[in-house]
Amino acid sequence: MKFGESQGGGLIGQSVRRVEDARFVTGRGCYTDDIQLEGMAFGVSVRSPYPHAEIRAIDTTAARAAEGVLAVYTAEDIADYGMLPAIQLPGSVATPRPVLASGRVRYVGEPVAFVVAQTRAQAIAAAELVDVDYAPLAAVGSMEAALADGAAQIWPEAPAISCSTGISATKLLSRPPSPMPTTSPACA
């Protein structure tokens, strides 16, 4: 009897023949990107190239005038919708999670504007016309750098790096590395 084999002929531990592969490897599969519906529009996010920067201004004039553009949104346009939901862990500092950044970006790729157009190509072209004036701010690229005196603070409301369980980053860095952690060492 093979490992996982049951007297009733179960499938645990057995090879299962896949039936969907042929259509995908022959180009006949249907992916979400293949779906075209009548009246469908396409959206493209304009994202920050900076890990930390002030947003001085966002000019969407050229993008709004571009061919096929249905709408261009910034944080100001969608402020009434509020923030994205986020889990608040005990002992952690609540930080806002906006759909689009307002005033400051805090990571590379953070969305700052959203363009909606009739075609994907039009949305991409219009997104490239959005002019964002950034003032780059100091950023850190490692936990060690973040702990250094005078390190940049991404969230002024949360000046110290800590896990929701109260373990400080300094304490975490002083631990010997685990050979193979099964959970996050910071919150274990």
pLDDT classification of 20: cutoffs 50, 70, 90: confident
Q: In angstroms, rounded to a whole number, what is the distance separating the alpha carbons of residues 156 and 114?
A: 27
Q: Rounded mean pLDDT of 41-50? A: 97
- Determine the pLDDT at residue 42: 96
Q: How confident is the model at residue 7 (pLDDT cuts 50, 70, 90)?
A: low
Q: Would you say 147 and 85 are in contact if contact means Cβ atoms under 8 Å apart?
A: no
Domain annotation covers residue 50:
yes
Residue with tokens 């369980």: 165
For residue 115, being part of any structural domain is answered with yes
Residues 6 or more apart whose CB falls under 8 angstroms from that of 183 comprise: none
Q: Does any domain span residue 43?
A: yes
- Specify if 76 maps to a domain: yes
Residue 156 lies in a domain: no
Q: Is 173 a residue whose pLDDT tops 60? A: no
Asked whether residue 11 is assigned to any structural domain, the reply reads no
pTM (2 decimals)?
0.70
Calculate the average pLDDT of the chain: 82
| Total number of domains in the chain | 1
Give the pLDDT confidence of 47-95 residue by residue, as tens digits: 999 999 999 999 999 999 999 999 999 999 999 988 888 787 777 777 8
Asked if residue 88 is part of any domain, the answer here is yes
- Alpha-carbon distance values, 145 to 50, 150, 169, 185 (Å): 17, 10, 11, 19
Other beta carbons within 10 angstroms of residue 29's beta carbon come to: 12
CATH of the domain at 43: 3.90.1170.50
The residue segments making up the domain with residue 43 are 36-136
Q: Evaluate whether residue 69 is within a structural domain.
A: yes
